Every structure is written in structure tokens, then in C-alpha cells.
Amino acid sequence: MAAPREAPQRRPFGRRFLTDPARLFQHNAWDNVEWSEEQEASAKSKVQENSSQLLPQDKQEEYEVNAKRYWDDFYKIHENGFFKDRHWLFTEFPELAPNRKPSQNEDSVHEFSYKEESNNEGLGSCENGHCTLETRAENQLNLVKSTPTFCTEELAPQKYSELNQSYGDYPGSSASYRILEVGCGAGNTVFPILQTNNDPGLFVYCCDFSTTAVDLVQNNAEYDSSRCFAFVHDLCNDQSPFPMPDESLDVVILIFVLSAILPEKMQCIVNRLSRLLKPGGMILLRDYGRYDLAQLRFKKGQCLSDNFYVRGDGTRVYFFTQDELDDLFTRAGLEKIQNLVDRRLQVNRGKQMTMYRVWIQCKYQKPAAPQ
């Protein structure tokens, strides 16, 4: 990619932007980077090239059928050593800890966010749109998107919820503030929430497609069943029950999760999650944007459909536009609070490589009940 025409004006987390190219590699990342027309055209050209050859249909069906196995294998290999906390969430999504003081851990939160995102996918030697295991061990945000949600068996807690919801007896039924994270992975969002949000009325639900991932959460020393309920869930199965009733949640979190689901199934999933929200409740999303570095690095033969790819380990990823996400959420009856693109210039100082990341961050709210 060509270098940006102008230096970005915003300072990343208090760090001074350096206009001297010779000093560029002393620092890691800059946010709100504007792309030149040349960069945009180059990105479009690369996507056209890597999507010109689609994977055969039988292969695509194989990835769909075996989706659970690919994610279970991933977590069996990496366990929880691949991930780090996401305390940056409370800067971007203060709804996760509404009683937290704005200045609480602000410096460390900004610093953590800076390090986490600057070490994201693509800072090492990634081939065919996917990083080697050695490189991925340095990454934090990439596959924490956690699991795509396809078919799996129901766990006992889910059957329990189906029997008892009508009586108001379900995990977290006495809580006053309920959060659900979809695609919890090894728990690197759930545990920071439990640590940071000390509201005695808080209850956090977390689910994942991978039984291995949920086992990692439940076996973590910080897992507290009085404040948290982890369960395996298949979002794409309409008959797969949640452990909580409709209109019971204050917040639903989708962090690099929706992109892992077949595009044609996304609307149904967002509709289901919307029904879980209380009036005034909110869905918080952060996911891959169109022309992100990860999309540009895919090779021919890894494309499943427009902007939807399979990685080397069998997991899949979609790259969104703002309009696509807005359409998904508004069709589900939600109102836009935030829908922005986060473009970042990242630098691998060791290899002296510049890389451009594109993420989308959204907040959509369920309309309040009429008075």
C-alpha cells in the first residue's frame, strides 16, 4: 500500500505522532488515519484479485459442517495462553461498567488498548490471510472474536433454563443489570467485566460455540458462578434456548463474533439477540471492516463469497461496511447510537513494516417502552 498523503492529526493514547519517517518505527500505532484515493483503489484491487476464485461448493459445505471441530481444535492448541484481557472495553464501551469513574485506571486502560490493538493480527509473518502460530501468539484481538455459532448439542444448563424460565427461576434472575457476551472464547472479556464492574446487581452470561472454550472459562480461578453463567450455545439454531428470557438483558456484546458467521444467517441472529434486550438495552459490536489488512492478505482460493473467507485453520471471517451493519441492526428494530470506522496505521518495528487496520464499532439500542 502507498503511504498516506498526510500525517494523521490525532494522537494515539497520548503518544506523540512523529512526522519524520526515520523515526516512524520507534512507535506502534496511530488512529483515525485517513486513506488516500490511491490506497483505497489498491485495496479494492487486491480484494478483487483474491476473490476472483471461489472455493468449490463442496469445500464450503465441509467448513460449515466441521465448524465446531475447527474451533475446538483451536482452543485445545492454545487454551487460554493465546489471549489477554480487554480492559480497553471500558473506554470504548462504558456501558459495561456504568458506575465506573471516568478516571479509574484511565492511563492503564489506554495503554492496554494501544498495546493490544497494535499487536493484532498482521504484525508478523502472516500467509494466506492467516498468521503462523508463532505470530498469532503475539496477537490479542484476532480470533478472540471467538467462535462462529453453528450446530452443537445442548448442555444441561440450557435445558434447565427452558424448564424454569416461565417461573422466573433462571441463572441471574435476581440481578438488576445483566450482560451477555456472545463468543466468549477463553473469557478475556468476561473476567475484566467481573473485575471492573462491582455492582452487586450485576450478572454476566457468556456463551461460545466451542465446548473447549466454555470449559476454559468455567475452570478459570476467577469464575464466580454467583455472578456469571457460561454455557455452550448455537446461535444459528432457532431451537437452541437461551438461559434467560426475552427482554431481560441490558447489554449484549459482540466482539469479533458476527464476522465468523455465514452472511445469510446474520440477520436471524441479530433478530434473536434483539429480542433478549430490555427496552433501552443495547448491543455493542466491534468487528472487521472492509479492506482491513487481514482481508487484503488472503490469497486466491480462500474466498467463500463476497468479502467472506476461510483461514488456514478452517475458521472463517467476513469484512463489513458500516451500511451492512446498520441494515442488520435497524431491520432488527434497533436504533443507531454509534456506527464508526476505526482506521489504524500500525507498525512492526522489528520488521519495519507499516500496516493498515480497519475495524467497525457500533452501538445499537432497543427503543424504550412507550410511557
What are the Cα distances from residue 82, in Å, to 63, 143, 148, 164, 210?
Answer: 23, 9, 18, 37, 15
Q: Which residue has the higher pLDDT, 100 or 73?
A: 100
pLDDT of residue 2: 45
Look at residue 19 and tell me whether its pLDDT is greater than 80. Answer: no
Q: CA-to-CA distance for 48 and 344, rounded, in angstroms? A: 22
User: Sorting pLDDT into bands at 50, 70 and 90, what band is 87?
Assistant: low
Residue 99 has which C-alpha cell? Answer: 458506575
pLDDT of residue 104: 53
Look at residue 236 and tell me whether its pLDDT is greater than 60. Answer: yes
pLDDT tens-digit readout, 264-301: 999 999 999 999 999 999 999 999 999 999 999 999 99
Q: Could you tell me if 136 and 143 are in contact, meaning their C-beta atoms sit under 8 angstroms apart?
A: yes
Residue 184 has which C-alpha cell? Answer: 466468549
Cα-trace Rg, the chain? 20
Q: CA-to-CA distance for 47 and 242, rounded, in angstroms? A: 38
Average pLDDT (322-336) is 98
Look at residue 312 and tell me whether its pLDDT is greater than 70. Answer: yes
* Class for the domain spanning 21-97+169-366: alpha beta
pLDDT tens-digit readout, 147-175: 333 333 333 444 444 445 555 789 999 99
The least confident of 3-7, 68-72, 328-332 is 3-7
Q: Average model confidence (pLDDT) for the chain?
A: 76
pTM for this prediction: 0.77
Q: Which of 331, 321, 232 is nearest to 283 (CA)?
A: 331
Name the phi and psi angles at 25, rounded to 5. -80, 5
pLDDT tens-digit readout, 193-228: 999 999 999 999 999 988 888 999 999 999 999 999
User: HEC profile for the chain?
Assistant: CCCCCCCCCCCHHHCCCCCCHHHHHHCCEEECCCCCHHHHHHHHHHHHHHCCCECCHHHHHHHHHCHHHHHHHHHHHHCCCCCCCCCCHHHHCHHHCCCCCCCCCHHHHHHHHHHHHHCCCCCCCEECCEECHHHHCCCCCCHHHCCCCCCCCCCHHHHHHHHHHHHCCCCCCCCCEEEEEECCCCCCCHHHHHHHCCCCCEEEEEEECCHHHHHHHHCCCCCCCCCEEEEECCCCCCCCCCCCCCCCEEEEEEECCHHHCCHHHHHHHHHHHHHHEEEEEEEEEEEEECCCHHHHCCCCCCEEECCEEECCCCCEEECECHHHHHHHHHHCCCEEEEEEEEEEEEEECCCCEEEEEEEEEEEEECCCCCC
Q: CA-to-CA distance for 322 and 172, rounded, in angstroms? A: 34
Q: Which of 207, 187, 213 is nearest to 79 (CA)?
A: 213
Q: Could you tell me if 319 and 259 are in contact, meaning their C-beta atoms sit under 8 angstroms apart?
A: yes
Q: CA-to-CA distance for 228 and 180, rounded, in angstroms? A: 10
